[in-house]
Structure 1
Amino acid sequence: MKTMTFRQPVLAATALLMSFTTFAQEENKFEIAPAADLVSSYVWRGVYQTGPSVQPSIALSYAGLSLTAWGSTDFSSMSDPNKGKEFDLTVGYGIGGFSIGVTDYWWAGEGKRYGNYSNSHFFEGAVGYNFGESFPLGITWSTMFAGGDKDADGDQQFSTYVEAAYTFSVLGVDVTPGIGVSPWTGMYHKEGKDGFALCSIALRASREIKITDSFSLPVFAQCIVAPNQDNVFLVFGLSIK
């Protein structure tokens, strides 16, 4: 799970607009991009996942195509083996402001079988568009289409999350307000709630703190209101790239 850009903790997260990670390359060159985030809590699409977590990633990209591995490990995962560990793989393509991707989510927990694809894995397709620097609005539609995303009767419920975020700069701080909705009943809904859901209203602020002349540390804070869950969150994070 993740907030977008397509998958970086904000709004993904996620954030940014990211439930998957894609790279639009202007040149046909191969790139490897390792990164990691340290977050005070892991909140995905308005739903609390775990407490303080380390979230590393590595992305391989060439000519608009990308393959990204992203993970999250909660500091308490060793004491609670039923949660705290996630491993996601995304294949994506981006050209101009358009991006498309398929993600295999796995968050069964530490010590659980990775190979249980029918129940432990969640497969999602996502499509997004960013209008560019003159109007920095990004919109993403993400739908689960296979795997463990099933309702009480065992039927695929095609859980869908639609996210919009707009990024601008104020006094050297990048500010990203965003909103996320689920158009029909799915995995993002609190038990007992059905139909259209307002999942997340978020405001993220990020900047780089200068440590030395050659090194700066990116930090961010994000306030998240989750009406569908009747909850609120304030998340702090550090990024290393």
Structure 2
Amino acid sequence: MKGKILALFVLLFCALGNVKAQEKVEPFYGGEIVSKYVWRGQDFGGVAVQPYAGLSYKGFSFTVWSSLGFTNEDVAEVDLIVEYTTGGFTASITDCWSSYYGSGDKYFAYGANSTCHTFEALVGYDFGPVNVAWSTNFAGYDGVTPKGKRAYASYCYVAAPFSLLTIDWEGGVGFTPWANDYYAGYASTAGCDSDDCYAGTTGFAVCEIALQGVREFKISDSFSFSLMAKGCYNPAINKFYFAAGISL
């Protein structure tokens, strides 16, 4: 599967080279290397390469984002994101294929109990001092409740950006509002003797208290890179993570 993901990005980068001739459609691409893939308070593996590429047009954008680890235990992921932004408002739909959820590694598999796809809708607003984003899973693997029902797992993240000592900082808190095994799931397995043992949140849960710092280094007018460091504590499972990375 990782070879197929790499091939997808090679084709996409070639396509972006041809699109540059168009005046109003803007291509973009980049990537980062991180020491650990941590997302919404969850550990998705060790060192990972995370490339992205896409097209933007009048506030709309289409992005392909991926995470590729170096071991079989690391999570493999491909996200297809359609987004609209105007002013401080953002809305997006994401098709996330992740080996962390579901079973198997086939991409075009959408069975209710076997798919690795999650479809998420997100709305957010940047108020300046604070930005808020709410996301809800509406199809695919969207999480289950303790009773085995569809959870439509949701997540809210409130962040406050600020600058200090030439570093761009962001402090944030994320929570899931109701019971599901999508966020902070697979963590509370003590005493579970069967495969159907529920291992998720049982209600409202704070899953992320984070502080991130980013420092940009400008080499020339056309090239720069950034160094990132992030500390994240997940109260729901009492875990702390630290990750560092470089983005181009």
Q: How is 1:139-178 mapped onto 2 (pairs within 5 angstroms)?
A: 139-151=132-144, 155-178=149-172
Separation of aligned partners in 2, 1:115 and 1:204:
35
Q: Which residue of 1 aligns with 2:123?
A: 127
Q: Distance in 1 between matches of 2:87 and 2:225?
A: 29
Is it true that 1:30 corresponds to 2:28 in the alignment? no
Q: Check if 1:86 corresponds to 2:84.
A: no
Q: Distance in 2 between matches of 1:195 and 1:234?
A: 26
- Of the three residues 205, 213, 225, the one matched with 1:217 is 225
Tell me if 1:188 matches 2:183.
yes
What amino acid sits opposite 1:53 in the alignment?
A
1:6-85 residue pairs with structure 2 within 5 A?
29-77=24-72, 80=73, 83-85=74-76
- Structure 1, unaligned stretches of length 5 or more? 1-27
The one-letter code of the counterpart of 1:225 is Y
Aligned length in residues: 206
Q: Which fold has the larger relative contact order, with Cα–Cα distance below 8 Å and residues 6 or more apart in sequence?
A: 1
1:97 maps onto 2:110 in alignment: no
In structure 1, what is the Cα distance between the partners aligned to 2:91 and 2:225?
Answer: 30
1:124 shift after superposition: 0.5
Structure with higher helix content: 2
Deviation at 1:36, TM superposition (A): 0.5
Give structure 2 stretches of 5+ with no counterpart.
1-22, 188-198
Q: Specify whether residues 222 and 117 from structure 1 end up closer, same or farther in structure 2 by C-alpha distance, changes over 3 A only.
A: same
Q: How many Å apart are 1:84 and its aligned residue?
A: 2.7
TM-superposed deviation, 1:144: 0.3
* Matches of 1:75 and 1:219, distance apart in 2: 21
Contact 1:145 1:156 in 2 (8 A): no
Runs of 4+ in 1 over 3 A off after TM superposition: 152-155, 209-216
Taking structure 2 as the reference length, what is the TM-score of the superposition?
0.77
Listed one character per residue, the Cα deviations across residues 117-138 of structure 1 (whole Å, up to 9, x for unaligned) are: 232210000000001xxx3311
Give the Cα separation in 2 of the matches to 1:173 and 1:237: 15
Q: What CA deviation, in whole Å up to 9, does each residue of 1:150-179 have, x standing for no partner?
A: 427653211000001111111210010011
User: In the TM superposition, what is the alpha-carbon distance from 1:209 to its structure 2 partner?
Assistant: 3.3
How far the C-alpha of 1:210 sits from its partner, in A, is 5.0
CA contact (8 A) 2:68 2:75 kept: yes
- Does the CA-based 8 Å contact 1:141-1:161 persist in structure 2? yes
Q: State which structure, 1 or 2, has the greater radius of gyration over its C-alpha atoms.
A: 2
Identity, % of aligned pairs?
A: 40
User: Cα RMSD (Å) of the superposition?
Assistant: 2.1
Distance 2:86 2:226 in 1: 27
2:108 alignment partner, SS class: coil
Cα distance per residue 1:28-51 (max 9 Å; x no partner): 932111010100000110010111
1:47/1:229 contact within 8 Å kept: no
Is 1:137–2:130 an aligned residue pair?
yes
1:164, 1:192 → 2: CA distance? 22
* C-alpha distance in structure 2 between counterparts of 1:114 and 1:96, whole Å: 35
SS at match of 2:135: strand
Relative to structure 1, the CA distance from residue 34 to residue 212 in structure 2 (aligned partners, 3 Å threshold; closer, same or farther) is closer
**Aligned in 2, Cα 1:148/1:31: closer, same or farther, shift over 3 Å?**
same
